[in-house]
Amino acid sequence: MLTRIDVRGRQEVELAALLPRPAEPGSDVRAAVAAILDRVRREGDAALRALTSELDGVDVAQARVPGREVEAALRRVPGDLRAALELAHRNITAYHAHEAPAPGDYVDDGLRVRHLVRPVDRAGCYAPGGRARYPSSVLMCAAPARVAGVGEVVLCVPPGRDGRVDDATLAAAAVAGVDEVYAVGGAQAVAAMAYGTQSIRPVDVIVGPGNRYVAEAKRQVSGAVGVAAAFAGPSEVVVVAGPETPADYAAVDLAVQAEHGPDGLAWLLTWTPGKAEEVEAALARIVQASPRRADLESTLGSHGYTCLVDDVAQALAVANVVAPEHLELLLDDAEAQLDRVRAAGAVFCGPLSPASLGDYVAGPNHVLPTDRTARFASALRADDFRRHIHAVSVDARALGALAPHVAVLATTEGLPAHAESVRIRTEGPPTSGEPGPGGPGPGAGDGSPR
């Protein structure tokens, strides 16, 4: 089921060329997504209704879910589910509040730079649907938006076959304080949030995981609307297993991410061939018994790998090349290996720390970078819903000390008005006959963009 790769004896510099690489994210759906975005931008709600009928197989006359239905769902769901949603929401909110303090001001001898942090006005959250329901994604997107101080939080989620959003998802929206819920999914939901329609006002930021169509749509609307740097696409996991790792733990954790559906990624890294065989046998048993067998077989058959390495150091070198969404170090000395980790969305340390903790209740966000974007991107955080503005003020003494340096740099760049703006404040207006800021200077008329 897992494709076997052997990199034992290879140098770290060789790994990138030896390991399989995913296709360019979104390349297979780019044209289809562009057509959907354009259709929604031109036709608005009519396109949303038609696309929901064509792609989801259900006619939804009114996309917005009434607020009373959201609150009613919270009362309808089982008590243990409500308790779990509320506990997860508390932990997620607490973690994001802890990681997001506002930076302080910078003060230096009369120069003061204040750091102004302003939330966006309106945030759009996407929660996947169709194959499964993901109330946890609602919490993961809405909670940090609220921590950031966003005024309006809206949610788009694909409707079920009955045209409704399921109660668990609506209950999560109620727990997280979502303002508006829309029964629309896919690339068309991203288009609606980015461009606006007759019933859905555009947002400033779009966040949330989704399939390759959703991820590609976010990529295409980036610029028209803010999108977190991470490509939050199909789920991925790399499991590092040593001789001490229980095979059942490693096997079930490979299945955990693979059961999200096709196009994901599942890697087992080990320096013990016998352990590889134990894990593969345990995984085969899990797949055989799973109600999501088709999804597991699709993911593991196309993007499932067992990679034999020399030791834990080479295992982490391979993991850094893969740059996975989830990295599990199922090792007794897992925390001692963290210095070797350079590229991963989230790391889970030790045999008792499965990625499912992070998916639900640990607190850090489960909206994580995929498709190797962990090389430069991070988990969703409160700061993704904020703008940073600096406000500069000086007193007369500081201006007097800094103005000559401003004038030198401005003159060097051929921008005489820049130099004059500080000179006039320190020396007064020019006397008759002196060139003003519009006078000749090097580079004048060069079309400088500043």
The residues that are catalytic are 325-326
Alpha carbons 302 and 306: distance in angstroms, whole number: 12
Q: Please state, as a whole number, how many other Cβ atoms lie within 10 Å of the Cβ of residue 210.
A: 27
Instruction: Please say whether the dihedral angle defined by the alpha carbons of residues 55, 58, 59 and 64, taken in this order, is positive or negative.
Output: negative
> What number of residues does the chain have?
450
Q: Among residues 229, 207, 181, 329, which one has the least CA distance to residue 269? A: 329
Asked if 154 and 125 touch (Cβ cutoff 8 Å), the reply is yes
Q: Helix, strand or coil for residue 280?
A: helix
Decide if 221 contacts 214 (C-beta within 8 A). Answer: no
- Record the tokens describing residue 54, joined without a space: 């064509």
Encoded amino acid at 328, one letter? E
Contact predicate 382/99, CB 8 Å = yes
180-183: strand order across its sheet = 64-65, 180-183, 152-157, 122-126, 205-207, 226-227
Residue 325: other Cβ atoms inside 10 A: 32
Question: 118 near 386, Cβ under 8 Å?
Answer: yes
Residue of 362, 312, 359, 309 whose CA lies nearest to 332: 312
Strand 3-6 to 304-308 pairing: parallel
CA atoms within 13 A on the CB side of 281: 8
